[in-house]
């Protein structure tokens, strides 16, 4: 579609003991693309995310990001390459302020060394000022700038999810993996998140989106990959997926055969 | 206003020997000060990375033994008849070598606990302290074992062109402990309020989330262990040259427990916490001794700790800070300034 392939998954399989969580998973995501990854509960979507971001080792198969083989890399190394994820459950640093959360997320942009810090060199102050400026920018982007001083744990559920995205954005991703970003949100909140997703894509960040809310996925995705029981059962444009018989069966079950 | 509080305490530390005549109280203050430095170093690990080091006294003891042996000299036969002879060096050299060696053992512990966290980290550190104690007890040729290392010389500071000054009296040690404590406080304070400290706090709060934004959590855990162990080693060195005698009992578990209690009651994860906790538990024995038998004292400390943990679970300093913050906030809210005040505190970093 859009540009060059950024993430390529080849024949990835994951087994927990005898349970096959993923098998023969093969697909790609291109630069600047939004790909939806959908499937019924337990289809293996989150397992796939864990494999791509180094939280789980695949039993077999290869994951490449911009040509670099990710197998065996640690999560922080993968994040360092620009492939950054969010988590399904709210994941923010609850006991820190919203502003500090983003500062933590900006870790990779800091350059000050141990000696700069210990000796309080001017370089340290400049770096801290830069980082604080970036943090304000990111908070403005996700619309949380007025909550900067609040404790993250005191935010509403929807705001915490937004902060989770802000944290991921702070890590300077070239591709973002969003794990159910709008689950449990009311329609206006989820519309806000989807607008944010479009904004992020407009900045040249590819996005892989796991989401249950069908209308949302159909609306923003360029392409959709459907998983069921750990396998890809369909792949294509939103319109194609909506008509795909296997997808309908996976979600609605097999209807009564007409007599 | 913000500068007033530290300035006040600096003045107290500086002028204390002028108005405090009681040498016994000064002695308690010095040993308490040394333990406060050790507790501050423990706070870096426990309060900021969230890892409980229950063998922290090992670094303190290593610092004490290394510093003492550097200044006393030794003559040891290693495997295969290989002799290592060391001539006595000045105590200042011992101090810096103690910091280095303690820091290195911190590195080893940090690396060993590369993958273990929580309870496993605790077990690794306890075992490490026990191993060091057994070495100090049984390597008699080096450490004199239970006979203790005695006659450890005091610190001598050389000033070029001014001659040497040996720290004989308590006042001099008070200033030395004050300076070392101040340096430790500044080092820890700068670390935790920087990008490095944020990485440590991230590790404590949510390790997977921290690594998902690209923080190499192991690296920062090892860094915290090294700095923490080095500071504890420095405190151990001060202890050795002040008390002038050390034996393997310095590695006893009870000393680690004392440090942990100081940090937890004072408030872990706050810079002033170990100082407040340290002062309380440094002076409590002196006060309680007047009317309670030793066994009763321990029961009292235990009871007090439980009380503090129940009533002020975050520790004394963070609770007080929270209380002051909420008071000033409600005052400014009455003045209709809550918004300005609220957003300012976030930007002040």
B202–A100: do the CB atoms touch at under 8 Å?
no
Are A87 and A125 members of one domain?
no
Are A77 and A197 members of one domain?
yes
Are A82 and A180 members of one domain?
yes
Distance from CA of B292 to the nearest CA of A (A): 41
Q: What part of B 308-347 touches A (C-beta under 8 Å)? A: 342-347
What is each CA distance from B263 to A76, A251, B328, in whole angstroms?
Answer: 31, 55, 27
pLDDT of residue B335: 59
Distance from CA of A241 to the nearest CA of B (A): 31
Q: Is A100 on the interface with B (CB under 8 A)?
A: yes
A118–B191: do the CB atoms touch at under 8 Å?
yes
How many domains is chain A partitioned into structurally? 2
CA–CA dist A198, B126 (Å, integer):
52
Region A129-134: mean pLDDT is 88
Q: Is B102 on the interface with A (CB under 8 A)?
A: no
Domain boundary among A154, A182, A201: A154
A75–B211: do the CB atoms touch at under 8 Å?
yes
Tokens 């077990």 found at: B123
pTM exceeding 0.95: no
Per-residue tokens: A114 = 């141990």
In a domain, A160, yes or no: no
Residue A111 has pLDDT above 50, yes or no: yes
What is the pairing mode between strands A206-210 and A175-179? parallel
Are A16 and A87 members of one domain?
yes
Digitized pLDDT (tens) for each residue of chain B, 349 residues in all? 566 777 888 888 888 877 887 888 888 899 999 999 999 999 999 999 888 888 899 999 999 999 998 888 777 777 776 777 777 788 788 889 999 999 999 999 888 876 777 788 888 889 999 899 988 888 877 788 777 788 788 877 766 666 667 777 888 888 889 999 999 999 999 999 888 999 999 998 888 899 999 899 889 999 999 999 999 999 999 999 998 888 888 888 888 888 998 999 888 888 888 999 999 888 888 888 888 787 888 788 888 888 888 888 888 888 888 888 888 776 666 655 444 444 444 344 3
Are A115 and A54 members of one domain?
no
Are A73 and A123 members of one domain?
no
Count CB pairs under 8 A between chains A and B: 107
In a domain, A224, yes or no: yes
Q: Is A176 on the interface with B (CB under 8 A)?
A: no
pLDDT of residue B339: 42
**A105 to chain B: closest CA residue:** B213
Are A105 and A85 members of one domain?
no
Which of B191, B199, B345 has the CB atom closest to A107's CB atom?
Answer: B199
In a domain, A163, yes or no: no
Are A196 and A102 members of one domain?
no
In a domain, A164, yes or no: no
In a domain, A102, yes or no: yes
Residue A81 has pLDDT above 70, yes or no: yes
Which of B196, B212, B344 has the CB atom closest to A114's CB atom?
Answer: B196
CA–CA dist A74, A57 (Å, integer):
10
Alpha carbons within 13 angstroms on the beta-carbon side of residue A111 total 6
pLDDT of residue B2: 61
Q: What is the arrangement of strands in the sheet containing A5-16, beginning at the earlier edge strand?
A: A19-30, A5-16, A60-65, A68-69
Q: What is the ipTM of this complex?
A: 0.86
Are A88 and A101 members of one domain?
no
Where residue A223 sits, what CATH number does that domain have? 3.40.50.300
In a domain, A137, yes or no: yes
Chain A residues with CB-CB distance to B215 below 8 A: 76, 104, 107
In a domain, A59, yes or no: yes
Give me Rg for the CA atoms of chain A.
Answer: 20
A103–B209: do the CB atoms touch at under 8 Å?
no
B215–A76: do the CB atoms touch at under 8 Å?
yes
Is A97 within 8 Å of B342 (Cβ atoms)? Answer: no
A96–B195: do the CB atoms touch at under 8 Å?
no
Q: With the C-alpha atoms ordered B4, B9, B10, B14, is the resulting torsion angle positive or negative?
A: positive
B198–A107: do the CB atoms touch at under 8 Å?
yes
Chain B residues with CB-CB distance to A176 below 8 A: none
Q: Is A117 on the interface with B (CB under 8 A)?
A: yes
What is each CA distance from B317 to B177, B257, B268, B273, in whole angstroms?
Answer: 22, 20, 9, 5
Q: Is A93 on the interface with B (CB under 8 A)?
A: yes
- Number of other CB atoms surrounding residue A199 within 10 Å: 12
Chain B residues with CB-CB distance to A131 below 8 A: 195
Q: Where are the alpha helices (DSSP H) in chain A?
A: 45-52, 75-81, 98-105, 114-118, 122-142, 157-170, 187-202, 214-220, 238-243, 245-252
B346–A149: do the CB atoms touch at under 8 Å?
yes
Is A23 within 8 Å of A46 (Cβ atoms)? Answer: no
Which of B191, B215, B347 has the CB atom closest to A107's CB atom?
Answer: B215
pLDDT of residue B37: 95
Is A147 within 8 Å of A155 (Cβ atoms)? Answer: yes
Residue A112 has pLDDT above 80, yes or no: no
For testing the chain B interface, which of A51, A107, A113, A127 should be mutated: the one with the most B CBs within 10 Å? A107
User: In which domain, by residue range, is A184 found?
Assistant: 5-92+172-252
Are A206 and A181 members of one domain?
yes
Q: What is the rounded average pLDDT for all residues in chain A?
A: 86
State the burial class of residue A29 (Cβ atoms within 10 Å of its Cβ: 0-12, 13-18, 19+): buried
Are A128 and A242 members of one domain?
no
Chain A residues with CB-CB distance to B205 below 8 A: 93-96
B209–A93: do the CB atoms touch at under 8 Å?
yes
Higher-pLDDT residue of A87, B293: A87
pLDDT in tens, A200-218: 999 889 999 998 777 888 8
In a domain, A257, yes or no: no
Chain B residues with CB-CB distance to A168 below 8 A: 212-213
Q: What part of B 151-210 touches A (C-beta under 8 Å)? A: 187, 190-191, 194-196, 198-199, 201-202, 205-206, 208-210
Are A150 and A61 members of one domain?
no
Region A119-143: mean pLDDT is 85
């Amino acid at each position: 579609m859009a540009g060059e392939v950024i993430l390529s998954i080849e024949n990835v399989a994951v087994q927990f003991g005898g349970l096959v969580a993923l098998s023969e998973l093969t697909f790609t995501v291109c630069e600047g693309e939004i790909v939806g990854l959908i499937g019924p509960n337990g289809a293996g979507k989150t397992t796939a995310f864990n494999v791509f971001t180094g939280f789980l080792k695949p039993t077999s198969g290869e994951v490449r990001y911009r040509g670099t083989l990710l197998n065996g890399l640690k999560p922080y190394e993968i994040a360092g390459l620009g492939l950054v994820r969010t988590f399904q459950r709210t994941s923010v640093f609850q006991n820190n302020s919203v502003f500090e959360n983003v500062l933590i997320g900006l870790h990779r942009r800091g350059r000050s060394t141990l000696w700069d810090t210990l000796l309080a060199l001017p370089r340290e102050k400049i770096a801290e000022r830069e980082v604080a400026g970036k943090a304000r920018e990111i908070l403005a982007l996700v619309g949380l700038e007025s909550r900067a001083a609040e404790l993250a744990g005191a935010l509403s559920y929807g705001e915490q999810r937004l902060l989770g995205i802000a944290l991921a954005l702070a890590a300077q991703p070239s591709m973002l993996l969003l794990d159910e970003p709008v689950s449990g949100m009311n329609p206006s909140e989820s519309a806000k998140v989807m607008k944010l997703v479009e904004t992020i894509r407009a900045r040249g960040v590819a996005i892989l989106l796991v989401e249950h809310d069908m209308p949302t996925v159909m609306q923003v995705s360029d392409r959709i990959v459907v998983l069921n029981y750990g396998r890809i059962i369909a792949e294509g444009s939103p319109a194609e997926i909506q008509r795909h018989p296997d997808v309908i069966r996976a979600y609605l079950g097999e209807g009564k055969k007409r007599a | 206003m913000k500068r007033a509080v530290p300035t006040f305490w600096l003045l107290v530390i500086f002028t204390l020997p002028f108005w405090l005549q009681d040498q016994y109280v000064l002695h308690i203050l010095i040993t308490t000060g040394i333990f406060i430095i050790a507790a501050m170093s423990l706070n870096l690990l426990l309060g900021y990375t969230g890892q409980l080091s229950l063998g922290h006294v090992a670094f303190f003891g290593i610092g004490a033994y290394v510093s003492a042996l550097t200044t006393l000299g030794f003559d040891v036969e290693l495997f295969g008849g290989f002799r290592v002879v060391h001539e006595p060096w000045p105590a200042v050299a011992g101090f810096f070598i103690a910091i280095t060696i303690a820091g290195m053992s911190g590195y080893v512990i940090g690396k060993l606990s590369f993958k273990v966290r929580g309870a496993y980290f605790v077990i690794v550190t306890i075992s490490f302290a026990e191993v060091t104690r057994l070495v100090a007890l049984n390597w008699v040729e080096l450490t004199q074992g239970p006979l203790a290392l005695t006659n450890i010389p005091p610190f001598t500071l050389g000033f070029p062109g001014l001659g040497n000054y040996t720290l004989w009296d308590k006042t001099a040690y008070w200033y030395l402990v004050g300076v070392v404590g101040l340096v430790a406080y500044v080092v820890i304070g700068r670390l935790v309020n920087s990008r490095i400290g944020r990485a440590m706090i991230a590790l404590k709060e949510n390790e997977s989330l921290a690594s998902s934004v690209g923080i190499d959590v192991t690296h920062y855990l090892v860094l915290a262990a090294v700095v923490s162990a080095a500071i504890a080693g420095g405190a151990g060195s001060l202890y050795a040259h002040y008390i002038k005698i050390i034996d393997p009992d310095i590695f006893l578990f009870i000393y680690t427990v004392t440090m942990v209690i100081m940090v937890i009651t004072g408030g872990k994860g706050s810079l002033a916490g170990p100082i407040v906790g340290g002062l309380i538990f440094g002076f409590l024995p002196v006060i309680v001794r007047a009317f309670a038998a030793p066994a009763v004292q321990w029961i009292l400390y235990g009871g007090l700790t439980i009380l503090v943990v129940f009533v002020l679970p975050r520790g004394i300093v963070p609770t007080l800070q929270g209380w002051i913050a909420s008071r000033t906030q409600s005052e400014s809210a009455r003045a209709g300034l809550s918004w300005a005040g609220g957003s300012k505190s976030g930007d002040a970093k």
